[in-house]
Amino acid sequence: MSVVCPSGHQSQTVDYCDQCGARIGAGGRGSATDPGATSTMFPVLEEVDTSPAIRREPCPACGATRSGDDRYCEECGYDFLLPGAVAWEAVVAADRAQFDRHSVPGVTFPVYYGERRFILVEGENRVGRSRGQPDEDVPEIDLAASPVDPGISRVHAVIERCENGGCVLRDVGSTNGTFVGDEPAPIPPHTDVPLADGQRFHLGAWTTITLRRR
Amino acid sequence: MTSFTVDAYQNEYLPLGGSEVNAIVTVTSDGAGRPAGGPDAAEVVIVDTSGSMGAPGAKIKAAREATSAAIDCIRDGVAFAVIEGRDRADVAYPDGMRLVPASAQTREEAKRAVAHLNAGGGTAMGKWLTLAGDLFATEPGRICHAILLTDGQNQSEQPEQLTQALERVQGRFQCDCRGVGTDWEVSELRHIASTLLGTVDIIAHPRDMAGDFQAMMEKAMGKSTGNVSLRVWTPQGATVAFVRQVAPSIEDLTDRGVVVNELTADYPTATWGSEARDYHICIDVPPRDAGEEMLAGRVTLVEGDQPLGQALLRATWTEDRHLSTRINREVAHYTGQAELADCIQEGLEARKHGDPATATFKLGRAVQLAAASGNDGTLKLLAAVVDVDDAATGTVRLRRDVAIVDEMSLDTRSTTTVRVGSSTV
């Protein structure tokens, strides 16, 4: 016994054509002869909401696409209603000069380290290294991705966005300290140090973070 | 009758223009039915008795004991023989070119013959395997299994001679290979085992031999269905990119396909007991328009021409990237396990050739993959070769003093995988 597939092949198998693999018994989208076949043929496609989305400009702070009438950006928490709001970002890079200054034995400078950017959220932004554990409280600025700087503590420092629009840096008791600018001594732990736009600070074996206002 | 179930796991949605269909096909056999290790099985034990087995003296002694232990596990009625391998191959038991049915009496006789095996001469595995093939040929229609034990490299014949011998015996019997000590070549034994659809492993110490042989033989006796193949049908215009066994270990079957007709090929899977195996099948199909569905593959498990189970691999093209970019969990898992095996083999190779940067990178990636997938066995073996600083990021340091047996154990077992759901994360 054989059946004929939509492309006209004689097929010994009745579910799909044994020549071209076409489904047999459903002539195509919207086949009127067998409505049941149509619904199993495109089970998920028909559930897709194709109604036009409300078009919005992307977030001015981080560039994330926006949808609906949300007031805050899903990515960075930017307040779309606040006129002239200020956004800050932390740019993380591997710094050869910083690495050479410390020259930690057993640690090698990464061959390639792509620049990483983090948009600062309101309030506290923890800088650290997650362990990849389930249910872990991951720091906002998580530097656990490879190549990883082994000199960074699990929770190393905090960058806090203040109500006056500026930012402060606070070392929260890291093992290897946090260094602002070209200062040879680390900043004292648990003490707020104001950071200006474009200011850099160092941590770990090679990590340098630059704060930018945009 | 043994019952088989065949299931497919895939994301059938492809982006427009997409042509690659990936699926994991899981085959489970309950091993019931025919009396396990019944009278229609045949077993040949091939023992390396080359000169190197004599020194240190423990090896040939352990080989004799292990062979005796294996003989004890052969069930009544199973046709068997023992081959003595050196630069030639001889039947150590019985006398002459034949197999004898196992019984209390023949097992005793065989053990007496094995006790007189002495070491001397070279190593020519091609000849050993050819003789095994000839012995199995005297009793056609049985499920044939061999065990090959060696401690050295195939020095007494050219590589082509081994290749030719393997071509002659391929598909006629299944062969599990065991290397004892550290003077054998992992790639050589892996090649034999994988061509003959068997396993390869290291026996680090002669004292472990008897236990391992016993386990191998019990497994062989548990096989109830032989000559089973995966029959893969693909539509016109499609090509099979690869067919790969991915659990319990990685074994590429792509080049083993036997053409049935222009759209169908059989991939041999040898014998089955009560077990489950997973296969990763990748098919290239001609792209179709959005919303169109096609059958990309029909995978049928067959014994000879008798179908035992079936799974369908589908392809549906969609403009919805949400659907098409989703990666199936099983496919992702086994893609990772295959990368794990590659990383270990490439890392060890780089280490051997004095390239610590590549070795560190590859073995570090292997640690990361093994940890993420819950492959604890492999992780433990890796830890003997590298110091693990952070498994999650794959930060490792090469160890300076690595025992050669640890390195060989890792190499041999690098293809051992874990199934989906083993992950602890």
Between CA B180 and CA B412 the distance in angstroms is 12
Residue B72 has φ and ψ, to the nearest 5°, of: -60, -25
Between CA A146 and CA A144 the distance in angstroms is 6
Between CA A126 and CA A159 the distance in angstroms is 6
Q: Which segment of A2-6, A49-53, A148-152, B355-359 scores lowest on mean pLDDT?
A: A49-53
B93 with B210, same domain: the answer is: yes
Q: Under a CB-based contact definition with an 8 Å cutoff, are residues B386 and B363 in contact?
A: yes
How many Å is the Cα radius of gyration of chain A? Answer: 28
- The answer to whether the CB atoms of B390 and A22 lie below 8 A apart is no
Q: Which residue of A has its CA nearest to B314?
A: A21
Q: Under a CB-based contact definition with an 8 Å cutoff, are residues B391 and B371 in contact?
A: yes
Between CA A174 and CA B307 the distance in angstroms is 65
State the average pLDDT over residues A193-211.
90
The first and second tokens of residue A181, run together, are 């600018």
Between CA B255 and CA B246 the distance in angstroms is 16
- Residue A42 distance to chain B (closest CA, Å): 7
In percent, how much of chain B has pLDDT > 70? 96
pLDDT at A43: 36
B47 with B162, same domain: the answer is: yes
How many CB pairs below 8 Å do chains A and B form together? 60
* A44-91 tens-digit pLDDT: 333 444 444 445 667 777 777 766 666 777 777 777 766 555 678 899
pLDDT at A32: 35
pLDDT at A51: 43
B363 with B273, same domain: the answer is: no
State the average pLDDT over residues B310-325.
90
**A→B interface, C-beta within 8 Å:** 13, 15-23, 29, 41-42, 44-45, 48, 106, 131-132, 134, 144-146, 148, 150
The model's confidence at residue A34, banded by pLDDT at 50, 70 and 90, is: very low
Q: Which residues pair with A91 in a beta bridge?
A: A117, A210
B204 with B63, same domain: the answer is: yes
Query: Hey, what amino acid is at A160?
Result: E
> 0.90 cut: is pTM over it?
no
The 10 Å Cβ neighbour count of residue B43 is 28
Q: What is the CATH number of domain A88-213?
A: 2.60.200.20
Is B298 within 8 Å of chain A by CB? yes
Please give the torsion angle defined by the CA atoms of residues B215, B216, B222 and B227, in that order, rounded to the nearest 10 degrees.
170
Residues of chain A contacting residue B394, judged by C-beta atoms under 8 Å apart: 146
- The answer to whether the CB atoms of A15 and B312 lie below 8 A apart is yes
pLDDT value at B292 more than 50: yes
Q: Which of B323, B339, B368 marks a domain boundary? A: B323
Q: Under a CB-based contact definition with an 8 Å cutoff, are residues B74 and B142 in contact?
A: no
B369 with B395, same domain: the answer is: yes
Q: Which segment of A10-24, A95-109, A147-161, B120-134 scores lowest on mean pLDDT?
A: A95-109
Q: Which residue of A has its CA nearest to B361?
A: A147
pLDDT value at A14 more than 90: no
The pairing of strands B306-318 and B386-390 is unpaired
Q: Which residue of B has its CA nearest to A5?
A: B294
DSSP-derived secondary structure letter, B35: P
Name the residue with higher pLDDT: B261 or B38: B261
The first and second tokens of residue A211, run together, are 């704060």
- The answer to whether the CB atoms of A18 and B293 lie below 8 A apart is no
Q: Under a CB-based contact definition with an 8 Å cutoff, are residues A127 and A159 in contact?
A: yes
pLDDT at B47: 93
Find the length of chain A.
214
- The answer to whether the CB atoms of A146 and B263 lie below 8 A apart is no
In percent, how much of chain B has pLDDT > 90? 52
B97 with B177, same domain: the answer is: yes
Which domain, by its residues, includes B167? Answer: 41-221
State the average pLDDT over residues B147-176.
90
pLDDT value at B315 more than 70: yes
Q: Identify the top-confidence range among A28-42, A102-116, B165-179.
A: B165-179
Q: Which residues 6+ apart lie within 8 Å of B219 measured at CB?
A: B273
Q: Identify the top-confidence range among B37-46, B82-91, B224-233.
A: B82-91
B184 with B239, same domain: the answer is: no
pLDDT at B34: 55
Nearest to B318 among A13, A45, A148 (CB): A45
Sheet with A116-119, side-by-side order of all strands: A116-119, A88-94, A207-213, A200-203, A178-180
Would you say residue B270 lies in a domain? yes
Mutation for B interface: A46, A104, A131, A148, most B CBs within 10 A: A148
- The answer to whether the CB atoms of A48 and B393 lie below 8 A apart is no
Mutation for A interface: B285, B358, B360, B393, most A CBs within 10 A: B393
- Residue A37 distance to chain B (closest CA, Å): 12
The model's confidence at residue B260, banded by pLDDT at 50, 70 and 90, is: very high
State the average pLDDT over residues A6-28.
81
- The answer to whether the CB atoms of B425 and A19 lie below 8 A apart is no
DSSP-derived secondary structure letter, B237: T
Q: Which residue of B has its CA nearest to A44?
A: B323
pLDDT at A105: 75
pLDDT value at B50 more than 80: yes
B260 with B358, same domain: the answer is: no
Quick check: helix, strand or coil at residue B380?
Answer: helix
Nearest to B395 among A18, A131, A148 (CB): A148
Nearest to A148 among B235, B393, B425 (CB): B393
**Domain of residue B204, CATH code:** 3.40.50.410
* B118-127 tens-digit pLDDT: 888 889 999 9
Helix and strand element counts for chain A (H, E): 2, 12
B235 with B376, same domain: the answer is: no
Mutation for A interface: B16, B295, B312, B423, most A CBs within 10 A: B295
pLDDT value at A102 more than 80: no
Nearest to B295 among A21, A45, A131 (CB): A21
Quick check: helix, strand or coil at residue B280?
Answer: strand
Nearest to A42 among B238, B291, B393 (CB): B291
End-to-end CA distance of chain B: 39
**Domain of residue B377, CATH code:** 1.20.120.1690
Q: Which residue of B has its CA nearest to A22?
A: B294
Would you say residue B279 lies in a domain? yes
Would you say residue B423 lies in a domain? no
> Total structural domains in chain B?
3
Nearest to B291 among A45, A145, A146 (CB): A45
State the average pLDDT over residues A103-114.
80
Q: Which residue of A has its CA nearest to B371?
A: A132
- Residue B400 distance to chain A (closest CA, Å): 14
Domain locations along chain A? 1-50, 52-85, 88-213
Is B104 within 8 Å of chain A by CB? no
B101 with B139, same domain: the answer is: yes
Name the residue with higher pLDDT: A32 or A183: A183
Q: Which of B291, B323, B355 marks a domain boundary? A: B323
Is B263 within 8 Å of chain A by CB? yes
Query: Hey, what amino acid is at B232?
Result: V
Would you say residue B384 lies in a domain? yes
Name the residue with higher pLDDT: B267 or A166: B267
CA distances from B86 to A174, B97, B155, B167 (A): 65, 18, 10, 21
pLDDT at B424: 38
* B202-245 tens-digit pLDDT: 987 777 878 888 888 888 888 877 778 999 999 999 999 999 99
B315 with B214, same domain: the answer is: no
Q: Under a CB-based contact definition with an 8 Å cutoff, are residues B422 and B416 in contact?
A: no
Q: Under a CB-based contact definition with an 8 Å cutoff, are residues B151 and B180 in contact?
A: yes
Between CA B328 and CA B22 the distance in angstroms is 9
State the average pLDDT over residues B297-319.
91
pLDDT value at B39 more than 90: no
- The answer to whether the CB atoms of B390 and A45 lie below 8 A apart is no
Q: Which residues 6+ apart lie within 8 Å of B405 measured at CB?
A: B182, B202, B204
CA distances from A212 to A73, A165, A196 (A): 19, 13, 8
B423: left (phi over 0), alpha (psi -120 to 50) or beta: beta
End-to-end CA distance of chain A: 72
Between CA A21 and CA B315 the distance in angstroms is 10
Q: Which of B267, B298, B323 marks a domain boundary? A: B323
**Domain of residue B26, CATH code:** 2.60.40.3670
The model's confidence at residue B114, banded by pLDDT at 50, 70 and 90, is: very high
State the average pLDDT over residues B255-278.
90
Residues of chain B contacting residue A19, judged by C-beta atoms under 8 Å apart: 235-236, 263
Closest by CA to B228, choosing from B321, B116, B304, B121, is B304
B311 with B334, same domain: the answer is: no
Q: Which residues 6+ apart lie within 8 Å of B155 measured at CB?
A: B122, B123
Between CA B170 and CA A127 the distance in angstroms is 60
Q: Identify the top-confidence range among A181-195, B126-140, B220-234.
A: B126-140
